Structure 1
Amino acid sequence: MRITLVGSRHFGVTTLEMLRQRGVDIVRVVVADAEDRLAAAARAAGIAVTVQANPRLVVASEIAEATDLIVTAHSHARISKEALAAARLGGIGYHPSLLPRHRGIAAVEWTIREGDPIAGGTVYHLADRMDAGAIAAQEWCFVKKGETARELWERALAPLGQKLLGEVIDYAKIHNVLPGKPQDEQFATKAPSLSD
């Protein structure tokens, strides 16, 4: 399986490592910042790196030729329709909430702010609307009393993301298709940035 990885930061690096351990062919890494740690890790591994022309949008020309699947890992860019069409299976991303709850950039912070006793993670199909594509895999976890968003992310949600992404990729390798079921819009909530 040929994968183009779009991402950043520590979660992008751990996703790169997880993909390499699964024996997939990472044909390109796409980043918004050439100095990002994911870009450095990809270069060190001998993987081609492309810097997005627009940090908010990944276009088809930034996806490697003959890509089977686009995987996003800590990317805040939208993947264009044309970019998704350039990959045989489209794309998947990880969102640290039980989608459709807490769609948006601050899902973990809103989980804490809302006092949710249960959190979770979702691997979903990338689509036109942010965090709104079909659910490929989902799993929940408890939120500890007094836990901060960062603590919840590091303890449970980031490792859960690696696990779920790996499971969906393994499924796609075996079945040559992505699992998926629509999100139930009646439970959708927004998780906009808290710094605005």
Structure 2
Amino acid sequence: MRITLVGSRHFGVTTFDMLRSRGVEIVRVVVADAGDRLAAAAHAAGIEVTVQADPKRVVADEIAADTDLIVTAHSHARISKEALGAARLGGIGYHPSLLPRHRGIAAIEWTVREGDPIAGGTVYHLADRMDAGAIAAQEWCFVRKGETARELWERALAPLGQKLLAEVIDYAKAHKTLPATPQDEQFATRAPALADTH
């Protein structure tokens, strides 16, 4: 299975390492910033790196030829419909909430702010609308009292993301398709960026 990985930062690198351990071929890494640690990891492994022309959008020619699946890991770029069409199975991403709850960039912050007793993670199909694609895998976890968004991410949600992405990759390798359960729109909530409160 040939994968184009779009991502950044620590979660991008741990996803890169996880994918390589699962016997798939990462044919290209796409980053918004040439200096990102994911770009450095790819260069060190001899894997081609492409820097997005537009940091907010990934276009079709930035996806490697003959890509089976696009995987995003800590990417804030929209993957264009044409880019998704360039991959045989489209694309998946990890969102640190129980989608359709808390769609948006500040999902964990809203989980904590709203006092949710449980949180979770979702591997979902990338689609035109933000965080609205079908669910490929999902699992929940408890939120500890007084836990910050960062603590919740590091303790539970980042490791859960790796686990769920690995499960979906293994499924795709075995079945040449992706699981897909549509999100129930009646439960969708937004998690826009929080204004700085200092």
Normalising by structure 2, what TM-score? Answer: 0.98
Matches within 5 A, 1:1-196: 1-195=1-195
Q: Residue 26 of structure 2 aligns to a residue in which SS?
A: strand
- Give the percent of matched residue pairs that are identical in Structure 1 and Structure 2: 87
> Residue 171 of structure 1: CA displacement?
0.2
Superposed structure 1 runs of 4+ greater than 4 Å apart: none
* AA matched with 1:166: A
d(CA) in 2 for partners of 1:130, 1:62: 20
d(CA) in 1 for partners of 2:58, 2:143: 33
> Residue 48 of structure 1: CA displacement?
0.3
> Residue 195 of structure 1: CA displacement?
2.6
* AA matched with 2:42: A
d(CA) in 2 for partners of 1:189, 1:141: 19
Q: Residue 87 of structure 1 aligns to a residue in which SS?
A: coil
d(CA) in 1 for partners of 2:194, 2:182: 28
d(CA) in 1 for partners of 2:174, 2:18: 17
* AA matched with 1:148: T
> Residue 55 of structure 1: CA displacement?
0.4
d(CA) in 1 for partners of 2:42, 2:114: 37
Q: Any idea what the Cα deviations from partners look like across 1:11-53, whole Å, max 9, x if unmatched?
A: 0000000000001000000000000010011101111000000
User: RMSD value over aligned CA atoms?
Assistant: 0.6
Q: Residue 89 of structure 1 aligns to a residue in which SS?
A: coil
* AA matched with 1:61: D
Q: Residue 136 of structure 1 aligns to a residue in which SS?
A: strand
Q: Residue 139 of structure 2 aligns to a residue in which SS?
A: strand
Q: Is there any run of 5+ residues in structure 1 with no aligned partner, and where?
A: none
Q: Any idea what the Cα deviations from partners look like across 1:101-149, whole Å, max 9, x if unmatched?
A: 0000000000000000000000000000010000000000000000000
Q: Is there any run of 5+ residues in structure 2 with no aligned partner, and where?
A: none
* AA matched with 2:74: H
d(CA) in 1 for partners of 2:191, 2:154: 19
d(CA) in 2 for partners of 1:124, 1:169: 12
Q: Residue 75 of structure 1 aligns to a residue in which SS?
A: coil
d(CA) in 2 for partners of 1:191, 1:38: 26
d(CA) in 1 for partners of 2:195, 2:56: 18
d(CA) in 2 for partners of 1:157, 1:195: 23
